[in-house]
Structure 1
């Protein structure tokens, strides 16, 4: 009764405003005043829900609806809309307004009639629809078509807030009339999917939530239409969007009516969230997944009874990883054949983010599938071979982790057979990378029976010598490292094959970084065999390694990898190479013949030269090398000292001469050996003094000097002549070092001639040599002048008077004279030389020298000659040396 009285009172108060509002010729101001009056009456006094409903339903709904739909004034439409929302919110029976309001809303919002220009009013109208859906519930059923029409339009509205409110209305509608909604739910999928990539992330979140509700309460077949869009949103950069997707997928997998039909499409989306960069999202996904697995396990308890009762945990499992429950594992295993093809396609997608997410999902799936991976091995390996070549490091990293799971769960009998079969074709770096990962993931005990075959495959020339590419050699090295890491002491069985691989990598690697890693790996291999160092590895296998390298040595060219392998073995085995001299020298003798490839010979001579520089620590470490000296000199060095045209031939002669000098310098070539080989080597060494290479000329002069020291006193006149004439030419050499070496060699030549029987026969040659040496006293290089002076001092003992005469003649020929008028004083620095007098003034600090020629009579006839300071100093030094010899 009270409500009726209140309603009657309000209705009486609203009579005048309503009549004004309904008059056709009522102006805008009048309508606005009327609406304000209505609002004042409704909101200005406390009314019960029944009273509001009585007034609202009987008198206000239709006028206000007409105003909302047709009033030209925006302010009037706004006030009318506010009044409608107030009436629906406070009235007891809002469903009674549905026949009036829903058509009005459809007329105002749906095309082609829909023409509400104001964004705020469009938002208000959709909010009004939301109030109707929330308050009317199942009563909306008969009007579902109008609601769907409205939402189809408003979900595509230009105003973002209208779209968001429309999504909320879609959720409310699905929950309000689920028994009718499934028949028309598909109509909303298209506009929702058109909005799911909206630029505002809040809109995207609302659309995802609305999609979840529309399909949850609607037609499950729509999953096919939305799953690809949801997959894209898993790559969204906004964490809240990814969180919404995870929630929706988790709810579907738990509660969707036809979820069994869509497991293969929904499971990848949920598992993809495991690796979300936001921990909360990953934890949410894992929580849902555990619930889903337990639910499925419970629903299929009969089928899983044996596995639940008798299943045994694997003995070998990835460290630090929690094993999923039985239901989760079974769900993945039973759907893997449907999931894997599409996933493998996505791993090679052109979009980087898609490839990364797909590679992360692959690891998660394989972790669940365990030994069920076996039936999918061919597809998996093809995908991994391609994905491991990806430019994105995260893709490669995830695929390597997935390959390790293959080693963990798949029998090596299957996996290794398939992988090594790919090596029969052209092995790619990615194939080797996958193999290394499989080895790392394999248990030691299961891998042991396959070690020999695996090491044999890797050590084949077609595999380990395939490429010099750094990436390839690094992956091959990773295989060896994985074998050592996993198999430990079992590697003793395949130690030789691993050494062959490591030697090959060291030989062909261009990167110093790779070479350092090889040395570390060799140390690891020695350690697992309880050896002290890699030298012990060489000692253990040196014979087999030399046999392995020398198999085809007769056919080697400059491009043969065996040359590089021999280089590594010889230079890195240290003293061990001294234990394999028989094989080593045989290889050198075979390959260093003059008819072999010049470039190859040059490489081998370079290796030999390096070894000779530290002979006591390499080839002669056991003291056995002297027994091979004759072979080395006569069959290897001597033939390669012969002159042949070309730069390569010249380089070979240079290295051959360097090797010969190294033998002599380290005293491996004893005086007795020199006596044996001098006749065969001397002509080639003398000829080498005229080579274009400075180093060749220098080494040749040093070698001749040593020959003179050892056996020069046994030379005849012809040999003495041939030696000095060639050495003398080198005093005109452009190189100061070569000129110095020539002077030292001539010193040895004079020493040999001093006690020789051919001294008298060589007088004319000695006189010529004095003349030439005095000329070279004027050499621009002071060191050379001093060296020539030493030669003259050594040679002066042969014919001193002859030398004095030559000196007096040479003084006038040195640089342009400059006269000095400084007086000369007799002092103790004066000597008598065969009726000639030379005064050497030692008192003057200016180092001015004066040479006087005079008789012993009292009247001194003198002339003063000033000459180039250093030349005079050298000559006077020489004369001082000769004075006692003349006496």
Structure 2
């Protein structure tokens, strides 16, 4: 029956196995008999004999193609002699023994039988204090044998945990890089093979691995990182704290493979570490740092791992997240363009660990290493992108960190800091962040901050990230803060002004037409930036922002904007007038306003002129007065398009001359006082030549004006003398025919003195003025009563007509021809009296001929 048949089959099988085993034993016995002599030769003193013996053993075993069962028995008999050869003085013998042991381990069916002898021998040779292996190549071969043992024996190595760890402790720090790499690979395999026992000794490998993780060869560093991952994964959670700082440093490694290895290891811990929940706040920053790696492959790996971690955590905490999963919140408005919103699990992981992560990130942003600061700033941006509106409760710490980031000298840190500030504007209500941020902006100079522009930089970025609708109720406060003197006039450094301008541009781009409510404040800021900026590019940027401000209010141009706010602007400037100096920004602001507003200032003369008058009083700062007069000169030269654009400047001319110009023409000692008189003269000349002053108005102030101008003819400055001559010429042109005789007679003597001036230009101008003076002598001028004046004038002119320079002679002749119509007989007599005294009588003859022709015509 069936039972009988089965029994017969079983007996037959056992008999066959016994016969086969018996055959293997006989074969093994034969081989061992053949090897007995060679084994004995392994103890000979001759190196050659030992070497030949090893070669013969290999030939009798592996070259004879014995079965695995036979090899098992042979290996059991040869193991101890071969292990003894590991201490052979001859390196070739040790090498042959190591390779033969490896070949046996690969070939025998029960390699674990060799462990009681093999592991202690390797431990003694690699990690023992006596007779360590000196050859690098052989140490590598032995470690490879150890790796092979782990591969073929697996969990059976558990009893030899102490030996294995002792070996790896030594070989991981071996001087030979190849030994280090192989040891790290062996540690990984061993940890996976004996997970239930490995944790008892895992911490013993942490120190040697951390010594190796900074090796100069990147492949060694990578192997050490991978080994660290396995040692911690299958060890105790306490090791995480010991390795974190070392792995964090590898995030800055020059080798992409090393950084990728760190990302892979940290991601694996976050997914599989038994006690991972306790280390989330320490591991998450390391993984998230990979999201900003410069290598796309690493960024993609970090992103994939992070998504897996978030999904796993979400699944593990499904009950806790039930409401958020069933009713998912929509993304915040103005979510960063191009950014993918992280999953719920990822966001929750960051939110729940943010209070532990942020202090460390903030601290690292002040590190002395640039790379650390850059990486920390990038990490902060990633954290904020995950935290969204939950960052509100950490806003104080965040703002402090961002101030430091924006004050950093490294562009990468500043860039990431500004991106983080934009995220704050996106996710946090303006009511909240402005409440904390604006006081820092206002007090940026009163604090110990080394970079007052940092709060402004953070504010501008936050405004860019926010929405117009959310900012609308707070525009007034923001505008008042920016226009506050302590803020907009706080510094003239380019970096500070750049950030001030960035705040204005952010408001204009975010709020657009709503900025009409703070148009005045923004204009004040832009005026300040233009007045204080030293770089043309910055001034042009401010000018462009001014045009944008006009555009959002649908104004035709800058003139309309100034017309809308000119009264407030002048009042704003007047508030600080008593303290103005040459270094005051208000003086520069005034210059920007009056030059850019063009014809608008003609509409506000009652407010402008008192401001100008008060700023140029003789008691004020001389250098400031000089700048004001230069500004006035520019305005007066184009009076029809500036001061007199409305035709109302004439109503203020008397005050302008008497109260503003004349006090500054009074002589005072010193070069600065002379420069001010020259500037005031330039204003007077511009006024006289600009067309805004009429003859009647000039006659009304002539008695006070003329003496001051005449006094300036004796100035040490050639420029002042020249402008005084030109001013007299302009005065005579406007009112010469209406001047009284005594007023006219006071002018010509001073002009005559200038004919001896060292400057040819002054002499020529004085001659032109004398010619004009003669032409101004009308019917009311009594030539008989004033004969002595004319006689003196003609004599002096005739004297200069004998000048060595022909062009001077020609100019004087022209002036005397003009004078011939005033008193021809007197001039003729004076000319004849000096004719023979001149170098050449030609000019006198021409003058006399001209007089005779005039006499004949009149007859």
Match of 2:730 among 706, 711, 714: 706
Matched, 1:186 2:203: yes
Cα distance in 2, alignment partners of residues 216 and 876 from structure 1: 121
Following superposition, the deviation at residue 812 of structure 1 comes to: 6.8
Which residue does 2:78 correspond to in 1?
Answer: 60
Contact 1:753 1:759 in 2 (8 A): no
80 and 799 in structure 1: CA distance in 2 versus 1, 3 angstrom threshold: same
Matched, 1:359 2:328: no
Following superposition, the deviation at residue 378 of structure 1 comes to: 1.0
727 and 26 in structure 1: CA distance in 2 versus 1, 3 angstrom threshold: same
Contact 1:736 1:781 in 2 (8 A): no
Per-residue deviation, residues 366-409 of structure 1 (Å, max 9, x unmatched): 10011111111111111111221111000000001001111111
Cα distance in 1, alignment partners of residues 595 and 563 from structure 2: 13
Contact 1:111 1:153 in 2 (8 A): no
Cα distance in 2, alignment partners of residues 112 and 521 from structure 1: 78
Match of 1:257 among 266, 269, 274: 274
Contact 1:713 1:755 in 2 (8 A): no
147 and 573 in structure 1: CA distance in 2 versus 1, 3 angstrom threshold: same
Which residue does 2:177 correspond to in 1?
Answer: 160
Matched, 1:80 2:80: no
Matched, 1:436 2:449: no
Matched, 1:884 2:853: yes
Superposition pairs of residues 822-841 of structure 1, within 5 angstroms:
none
Gaps of 5+ in 2: 1-19, 446-451
Which residue does 1:38 correspond to in 2?
Answer: 57
Following superposition, the deviation at residue 731 of structure 1 comes to: 1.4
Following superposition, the deviation at residue 545 of structure 1 comes to: 1.3
Superposition pairs of residues 474-623 of structure 1, within 5 angstroms:
474-623=498-647
Cα distance in 2, alignment partners of residues 28 and 630 from structure 1: 125
Superposition pairs of residues 645-656 of structure 1, within 5 angstroms:
645-656=669-680
Contact 1:390 1:396 in 2 (8 A): yes
Superposition pairs of residues 376-525 of structure 1, within 5 angstroms:
376-427=394-445, 428-525=452-549
Superposition pairs of residues 274-353 of structure 1, within 5 angstroms:
274-313=291-330, 314-353=332-371
Per-residue deviation, residues 482-518 of structure 1 (Å, max 9, x unmatched): 1111000100111111111112222222222221111
Which residue does 2:35 correspond to in 1?
Answer: 14
Matched, 1:127 2:151: no
Contact 1:137 1:176 in 2 (8 A): yes
82 and 876 in structure 1: CA distance in 2 versus 1, 3 angstrom threshold: farther
Which residue does 2:4 correspond to in 1?
Answer: none
Following superposition, the deviation at residue 780 of structure 1 comes to: 6.2
Cα distance in 1, alignment partners of residues 802 and 78 from structure 2: 130
Contact 2:140 2:182 in 1 (8 A): yes
Contact 1:488 1:528 in 2 (8 A): yes
Matched, 1:142 2:111: no
Superposition pairs of residues 720-799 of structure 1, within 5 angstroms:
720-753=744-777, 755-777=779-801, 779=803, 783-798=807-822
Cα distance in 2, alignment partners of residues 711 and 62 from structure 1: 132
Cα distance in 2, alignment partners of residues 154 and 811 from structure 1: 122
Cα distance in 1, alignment partners of residues 812 and 25 from structure 2: 141
Contact 2:629 2:680 in 1 (8 A): yes
Q: Secondary structure at the match of 2:687?
A: helix
Contact 1:384 1:399 in 2 (8 A): yes
Contact 1:716 1:758 in 2 (8 A): no
Q: Secondary structure at the match of 1:117?
A: coil
Contact 2:685 2:730 in 1 (8 A): no
Gaps of 5+ in 1: 816-866
Q: What's the RMSD between the two structures over aligned residues?
A: 2.0
Cα distance in 1, alignment partners of residues 90 and 720 from structure 2: 108
Superposition pairs of residues 608-647 of structure 1, within 5 angstroms:
608-647=632-671
Runs of 4+ residues deviating >6 angstroms = 811-815
Following superposition, the deviation at residue 197 of structure 1 comes to: 0.2
Cα distance in 2, alignment partners of residues 49 and 771 from structure 1: 143
Following superposition, the deviation at residue 540 of structure 1 comes to: 1.1
**Number of residues paired by the alignment?**
828
424-433 or 570-579, larger mean C-alpha shift: 424-433
Following superposition, the deviation at residue 11 of structure 1 comes to: 2.3
Contact 1:404 1:441 in 2 (8 A): yes
Which residue does 2:66 correspond to in 1?
Answer: 47
Cα distance in 1, alignment partners of residues 100 and 804 from structure 2: 116
Which residue does 1:205 correspond to in 2?
Answer: 222
877 and 193 in structure 1: CA distance in 2 versus 1, 3 angstrom threshold: farther
Cα distance in 2, alignment partners of residues 200 and 433 from structure 1: 42
354 and 555 in structure 1: CA distance in 2 versus 1, 3 angstrom threshold: closer
Q: Secondary structure at the match of 1:760?
A: coil
211 and 709 in structure 1: CA distance in 2 versus 1, 3 angstrom threshold: closer
Following superposition, the deviation at residue 602 of structure 1 comes to: 2.4
Cα distance in 1, alignment partners of residues 816 and 239 from structure 2: 110
113 and 875 in structure 1: CA distance in 2 versus 1, 3 angstrom threshold: farther
Cα distance in 2, alignment partners of residues 785 and 86 from structure 1: 124
Q: Secondary structure at the match of 2:401?
A: helix
Contact 1:106 1:114 in 2 (8 A): no
Cα distance in 1, alignment partners of residues 756 and 477 from structure 2: 66
Contact 2:483 2:521 in 1 (8 A): yes
Per-residue deviation, residues 808-838 of structure 1 (Å, max 9, x unmatched): 77677667xxxxxxxxxxxxxxxxxxxxxxx
Cα distance in 1, alignment partners of residues 748 and 438 from structure 2: 68
761-770 or 337-346, larger mean C-alpha shift: 761-770
